């Protein structure tokens, strides 16, 4: 990377960064990071620019962005699991295209969604919390919960294998995305493109900043400012209109339609109260952002048996509120961000077969948040089509 970029990257990564693992061995981290930086980026600037052209169309109201997949991808994901998730995404996209009469841009939470931000640093057993396979193991064993930077190399290889599978199959157009959480991993894959002189995140086509790492003076927002990828930022119910406008101005400084996606995850009971002021304030900046609804993360609760879950009806209700707000304001409901899998899991309540509280234990496999199963996801795609004006 040209030294001008290296200096700017070093400066932003010197800022405070939330949710980074307490790596126990600095020497091991240095050698892993040096090795990772020798590996070729996973995606190319041409692919990223192709997606940017599509997100521009979404921001202009001509297309719909459908983003989703596992909450946490794992290193032991099978070929069938990856194919099932990609196929579910594309089937949902087909349903929405057909029903809403709008082209759909599918983007997978795939080939990199290995790092998780957590509410607490210890889990219910008193162990260091699981932070995603890229950091430590989910198994409840104190030794396996120690963060190990070598896992970043395994993450890279797993992402590479996942991409090879997607590119080799009939999923050629599935663009990839993940939360740009683990800065040591993201930094190693940055690439400057001599063709346009811009800096790209090479770990995925689309990167987003999570609700827990969007501190305005923090490293995550500052890194995203440097990138030419389409970027997203999650906005929870505590977001003020002024802060949303600040994100729009900083992350889309040149007013490029579709450069920024605002991924709102308010909760079904708050979306109608909180979203309108954000949409109006961001519109007043003159920016053409993609407004996206994540109806999952504001609707998480714990079942009587202790399972983290979400009810299908709450997901539908938040989506309905999101569409209603945009209808009332005359703005484009640009997309939906979901956690789902093609597997027949029982992690979310309700849906076509009415998963019950007692049914959750049947096949609860997520290592982090509850996902819609394929049936629930396709039913949701159908419901989405009814929400378009």
Ligand X SMILES: O=C[C@H](O)[C@H](O)COP(=O)(O)O
Choosing from 369, 373, 377, 378, the residue that interacts with Mn ion (CB under 5 A) is 369
Which residue stretch of 53-61, 93-101, 207-215, 281-289 sits at the interface with ligand PEP (rule: CB under 6 A)? 207-215
Q: Which does 265 bind (CB under 5 to 8 A by kind): Mn ion, ligand X, ligand PEP, none?
A: ligand PEP
Identify which of residues 26 and 302 has a Cβ nearer to ligand X in the complex. Answer: 302
The contact set with ligand X (CB under 6 A) reads: 71, 116-119, 297, 368-369
Shortest Cβ contact with ligand PEP: which residue?
210
Choosing from 17, 32, 48, 71, the residue that interacts with ligand PEP (CB under 6 A) is 71
Identify which of residues 72 and 387 has a Cβ nearer to ligand X in the complex. Answer: 72
Quick check: 71 binds Mn ion (CB under 5 A)? yes
Residue 232's SS3 state is: strand
Quick check: 178 binds ligand PEP (CB under 6 A)? no
Site string for ligand PEP, 11-40 (x = CB under 6 A): ------------------------------
Smallest distance from ligand X to CB 60, Å: 30
Contacts of 27 (CB under 8 A, 6+ apart): none
Smallest distance from ligand X to CB 212, Å: 7
Quick check: 338 binds Mn ion (CB under 5 A)? no
The token pair that represents 80 in the structure block = 């069938």
End-to-end Cα, the chain, rounded Å: 47
Smallest distance from ligand PEP to CB 40, Å: 27
Q: Which of 264, 365, 254 is nearest to 308 (CA)?
A: 365
For residues 11 and 223, what is the distance between their CA atoms, to the nearest angstrom? 9
Smallest distance from ligand X to CB 271, Å: 17
Q: Which does 119 bind (CB under 5 to 8 A by kind): Mn ion, ligand X, ligand PEP, none?
A: ligand X
Site string for ligand PEP, 288-307 (x = CB under 6 A): ---------x----------
Quick check: 117 binds ligand PEP (CB under 6 A)? yes
Beta bridge partners of 128: 122
Distance of CA 387 to the CA centre of its chain: 23
| Beta-sheet strands, E only, within the chain | 64-69, 104-109, 175-179, 190-193, 198-201, 206-209, 231-235, 260-264, 290-293, 301-302, 308-309, 335-339
Q: Which of 305, 317, 300 is nearest to 370 (CA)?
A: 300
Question: What count of Cα atoms within 13 Å lies in the side-chain half-sphere of residue 284?
Answer: 11
For the chain, state the CA radius of gyration: 20
Contacts of 313 (CB under 8 A, 6+ apart): 350
- 261 burial class (0-12, 13-18, 19+ CB within 10 angstroms)? buried
Identify which of residues 8 and 118 has a Cβ nearer to ligand X in the complex. Answer: 118
Identify which of residues 112 and 117 has a Cβ nearer to ligand X in the complex. Answer: 117
Smallest distance from ligand X to CB 267, Å: 13
List residues binding ligand PEP (CB under 6 A): 71, 117, 179, 210-212, 234, 265, 297, 369
List residues binding Mn ion (CB under 5 A): 71, 369
């Amino acid at each position: 990377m040209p030294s001008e970029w290296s200096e700017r990257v070093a400066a932003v990564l010197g800022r405070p960064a939330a949710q980074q693992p307490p790596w126990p061995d600095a020497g091991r981290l240095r050698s892993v990071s040096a090795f990772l930086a020798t590996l070729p980026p996973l995606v190319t600037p041409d692919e990223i620019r192709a997606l940017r052209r599509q997100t521009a169309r979404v921001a202009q109201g001509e297309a719909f962005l459908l983003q989703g997949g596992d909450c946490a991808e794992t290193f032991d994901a099978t070929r069938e699991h990856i194919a099932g998730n990609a196929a579910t995404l594309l089937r949902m996209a087909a349903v929405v295209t057909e029903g809403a009469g709008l082209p759909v841009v599918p983007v997978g939470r795939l080939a990199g969604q290995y790092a998780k931000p957590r509410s607490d640093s210890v889990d219910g057993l008193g162990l260091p919390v699981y932070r995603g396979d890229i950091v430590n193991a989910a198994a409840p064993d104190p030794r396996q919960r120690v963060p190990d930077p070598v896992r970043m190399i395994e993450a890279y290889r797993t992402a590479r294998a996942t991409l090879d599978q997607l590119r080799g199959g009939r999923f050629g157009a599935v663009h990839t995305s993940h939360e740009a959480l683990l800065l040591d991993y993201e930094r190693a894959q940055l690439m400057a493109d001599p063709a346009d002189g811009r800096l790209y995140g090479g770990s995925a086509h689309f990167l987003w900043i999570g609700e827990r790492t969007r501190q305005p003076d923090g490293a995550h927002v500052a890194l995203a400012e440097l990138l030419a990828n389409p970027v997203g930022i999650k906005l929870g119910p505590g977001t003020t209109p002024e802060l949303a406008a600040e994100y729009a101005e900083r992350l889309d400084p040149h007013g490029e339609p579709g450069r920024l996606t605002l991924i709102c995850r308010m909760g079904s009971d708050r979306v109608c109260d909180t979203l309108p002021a954000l949409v109006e304030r961001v519109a007043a900046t003159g920016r053409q952002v993609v407004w996206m609804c994540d109806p999952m993360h504001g609707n998480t609760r714990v079942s009587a048996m202790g399972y983290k879950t979400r009810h299908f009806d709450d997901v539908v209700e938040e989506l309905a509120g999101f569409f209603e707000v945009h209808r009332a304001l005359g703005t484009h409901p640009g997309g939906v961000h979901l956690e789902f899998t093609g597997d027949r899991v029982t992690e979310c309540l309700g849906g076509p077969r009415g998963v019950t509280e007692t049914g959750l234990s049947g096949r609860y496999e997520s290592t982090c948040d509850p996902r819609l199963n394929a049936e629930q996801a396709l039913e949701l795609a159908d419901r989405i089509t009814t929400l378009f004006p």
